[in-house]
Amino acid sequence: MEDLSALVALARERYGKLDVLINNAGVMPISPLDELRVDDWDEMIDVNIKGLLYGIAAALPVFRTQGFGQFVNIASTAGFKTVPNQSVYSGTKFAVRAISEGLRQEAGDRVRATIISPGFVATNFAERITNQSVKAQLERSRDAVAMPPSAVATVIAFAIEQPPDIEVGEIVIRSTAQKVRTRLMRARR
C-alpha cells in the first residue's frame, strides 16, 4: 500500500494531478488444486486482488478531490471462464472484474473505471509455474496464440483517450488465433 501511495504522491508532485491509475500487477503460479500450493494461492490473492484494492485506495481519494480520474484495471479472459489448473488464478480475475464493476457503479460521473481482459499475451508469465506439465502446456498455448503486449497497450490508450464524459466499461482482447484455437478445442470435446 505504501508503494502505491508514494507513486500517486510522486505523480501529483511531478505533474500536479493524477489522470489515470493502471492496476496491472498480477501473478499466475497455476497448478492443480490437488497440489495444495497454498503459498501460491496466497500470493495470487495478495497481488491480484489486494494489489488492485491498494491501487484503488491510493488513487480514489485523489480522484475525488480533483473531480476526475480513471482506473484501468487489468483482469483476464480467465475472469470469464475457469479451466483446469487455473481455479485460484481465475477466481482472482473474477474478483478483479467484480470489484471493478462495483467501483464503476460507485464512482459517479467524474471517475471512470475500465476493465481490460486480455487473453494470452507474449510475456514470461509461465516462468514461475512449478508443475512442469502445466507449464509446458501453457507455454505451448502462449507460443501458438499470444498477442504482443503492445496490443494491450493500444487498447488501454483507446480507453483513456475517450472524452471525459465517456466511459469504456470493459474490453476483452485476444488474438484471432486464440479465438480459433478455443473453438477447435471445444469441437474436439
- CA dihedral (29, 33, 37, 38) positive or negative: positive
Q: Could you say which of 54, 63, 71, 89 is catalytic?
A: 89
Per-residue pLDDT of 36-82, as tens digits, reads 999 999 999 999 999 999 999 999 999 999 999 999 999 999 999 99
Q: Where are the alpha helices (DSSP H) in 45-163?
A: 51-66, 87-106, 132-145, 149-160
Residue 171, burial from CB neighbour count under 10 angstroms (0-12, 13-18, 19+): middle
C-alpha distances in angstroms, 105 versus 17, 28, 39, 109, 122? 23, 28, 33, 9, 32
Per-residue pLDDT of 151-185, as tens digits, reads 999 999 999 999 999 999 999 999 888 765 554 44
Q: Which residues pair with 172 in a beta bridge?
A: 117
What pLDDT is recorded for position 106?
Answer: 94
What pLDDT is recorded for position 180?
Answer: 58
Class of the CATH-defined domain 2-188: alpha beta
Per-residue pLDDT of 71-115, as tens digits, reads 999 999 999 999 889 999 999 999 999 999 999 999 989 999 999
Based on the residue annotation, tell me whether 89 is a catalytic residue of this protein. Answer: yes
Domain boundaries, the chain: 2-188
C-alpha distances in angstroms, 129 versus 31, 80, 110, 136, 171? 7, 22, 41, 9, 27
Decide: helix, strand or coil at residue 108: coil
Per-residue pLDDT of 5-20, as tens digits, reads 999 999 999 999 999 9
